[in-house]
């Protein structure tokens, strides 16, 4: 993903070669998944005591994702923790969802605005920081 890898010293890897590791290598080239529409701040929560041994086909990154999501964690933080692009994490999440290993809590839809209690809590919380 990073273009500033030491590999750039090699003459056959110039800027035109693009990233040394293609972002979607990890997903076997899959770009779309059931998790495509997930918001950046959708909370991902691992099922309690997930039986990962039953799914030998999962990559180490899948397993890390489940581990990180033991405590409910927003998608964007998982991507940052794993140092993977958000789009890649969405595909991995789709794999975990279809196996019932995680649940995803989407934030309220766009038409919903937080109620006044929430806004007041935000203002009070900011003032207290």
Binding site for other proteins (CB under 8 A): 1, 16, 18-19, 22-24, 31, 34, 39-41, 43, 45, 72, 74, 76-77, 79-80, 85-88, 97, 100, 102-110, 112-114, 116, 118-127, 129
Query: Do residues 91 and 31 lie in contact, with contact meaning Cβ atoms separated by under 8 Å?
Result: yes
| DSSP state letter for 109 | P
Least Cβ distance, residue 89 to other proteins (angstroms): 9
Does an H or E element contain 73, and which? strand 73-74
CA distances to 24, 116, 119, 120 from 126, in Å: 39, 15, 11, 10
Q: Which is nearer to other proteins, 11 or 115 (CB)?
A: 115
Least Cβ distance, residue 128 to other proteins (angstroms): 9
Query: Do residues 93 and 44 lie in contact, with contact meaning Cβ atoms separated by under 8 Å?
Result: yes
């Amino acid at each position: 993903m990073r273009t500033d890898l030491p590999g750039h010293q090699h003459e056959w890897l110039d800027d035109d070669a693009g990233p040394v590791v293609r972002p979607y290598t990890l997903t076997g080239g899959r770009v779309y998944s059931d998790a495509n529409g997930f918001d950046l701040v959708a909370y991902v929560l691992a099922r309690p005591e997930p039986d990962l041994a039953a799914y030998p086909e999962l990559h180490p990154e899948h397993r890390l994702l489940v581990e990180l999501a033991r405590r409910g964690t927003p998608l964007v933080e998982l991507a940052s923790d794993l140092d993977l692009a958000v789009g890649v994490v969405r595909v991995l999440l789709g794999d975990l969802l279809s196996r019932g290993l995680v649940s995803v809590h989407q934030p309220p839809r766009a038409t919903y605005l937080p109620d006044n209690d929430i806004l007041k809590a935000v203002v009070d919380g900011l003032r207290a920081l």
